[in-house]
Amino acid sequence: MTQDMLLGHPWFAPLLSALIAVFLALLVHRVASAVLQRVTRHTPVLHALLVNIKPAARLVLPLLALQMVWQAAPDELRFIAGVRHLNGLLLIAAAAWLAIRAVNGFADGLIAKHPYDAADNLQARRVLTQTRVLARTANSMLLVAGGAMMLMTFPGARQVGASLLASAGVIGIVAGLAAKPVFSNLIAGLQIALAQPIRIDDVLVVEGEWGRVEEITGTFVVLKIWDDRRLILPLSYFIEKPFQNWTRHNAQLLGTVFVYADYGMPLEPLRAEVERLVKAAPEWDGRFFNLRVVDTTERAMQIRVLCTAANSGLAFDLRCTVREGLIAFMQREYPQFLPRLRVEDGDAAAPRGAAALPPQQQPV
């Protein structure tokens, strides 16, 4: 009797079909994922995409199969409309998740194909920046699209949308003003991804701070300062305001060292010492160095040393090495020509007739 009641229940056939559909969907997912991953093992980008979407696909395929079963069920079946709606919402959410994971997997594959830990990593950093910014922008758009599609399944939400359209003029102005930072950052993110004024791992001088670009998100840029502080700036900052990029085309830099010396200091020994210091320094990249007198004052001459290095960090260390070496050389070999302030004897420097005046009446 109980068996007859169970077999005769209106939900028996749909539930049995649902179980069979879920089992077949999981079987298809298992076989297809194994075959596709084996086929794409020699294409890193597609392989990374397939590996990344595997968990989401394990959810999407059964939900898709269930939706087909519920759509085939009789319309007069009790609660079938609610089940269809709930399954549709879950399917939209899972499909959005699948699309986001597909974008992230494709981005991860491209980044892995262009490693940026090499010495000359300009192309890799370009790919990394474009991929991450565009992937995050696409993810934001997919989230918004998924949420919008889920809301559109509710009749009430469609009515609200229709009523909002009736007052679109006022609401459009208000929404435009409120969303201006969001849209400006979104547009700035696309400009940064395409024009690339900055890239991941670029060396920048921003707001008087020196640091490297550590992260570029959909709304802000994280700059790692040399003393491990973090400077957070909106994306629109790098479109609207000037800043210095020391690695725009390559990481090589020309370091500058300034030293002051007395006019009596001979320059040839200094040039020889600079050559010795630079060639002995492991930070020098072998491209260029020189020494020139670039300015003079009434007390000393300004000597400039130029030397090249492969990147900003090495250039800073090389400048310190050369500066310390030149100071030590002058202290050791020519201490008499170090910058000094000359003070003449008071009597000798006094104007004629001033020495006859008492001390309290001497001219100042």
Q: Band of the pLDDT at 118, cuts 50, 70, 90?
A: low
Residue 178: pLDDT above 80? no
Residue of 16 and 275 predicted with greater confidence: 275
Give the pLDDT score at 92. Answer: 92
Instruction: pLDDT band for 129, please (50, 70, 90 cuts).
Output: confident
150 or 318: whose pLDDT is higher? 318
Worst-scoring range by mean pLDDT, 161-170, 295-304, 312-321, 340-349? 161-170
pLDDT greater than 70 at residue 189 = yes
DSSP bridge partners of 112: none
Of the ranges 78-87, 149-158, 164-173, 290-299, which one carries the lowest mean pLDDT score?
Answer: 164-173
**Mean pLDDT for the chain overall:** 80
Q: What percent of the chain has pLDDT over 90?
A: 29
Q: Which of 310, 311, 329 is nearest to 321 (CA)?
A: 329
pLDDT for the residue numbered 360: 40
pLDDT value at position 151?
80
Residue 352 has pLDDT above 50, yes or no: no
Lowest mean pLDDT among 9-13, 19-23, 127-131, 196-200: 9-13
Mean pLDDT calculated for residue range 3-14: 66
Highest CATH level, class, for 253-337: alpha beta
Q: Could you tell me the pLDDT band of residue 327, with boundaries at 50, 70 and 90?
A: very high
pLDDT for residue 71: 86
The verdict on pTM exceeding 0.85 is no
**Picking from 20-24, 153-157, 164-168, 189-193, which range would have the lowest pLDDT averaged per residue?**
164-168
pLDDT at 310 over 60: yes
- Which is higher by pLDDT, 165 or 56? 56
Checking if the pLDDT of 183 tops 70, the result is no
Residues of CATH 3.30.70.100 domain(s) within the chain? Answer: 253-337
Strand order in the sheet with 301-309: 253-261, 301-309, 284-296
Q: What does the pLDDT average to over 105-119?
A: 77
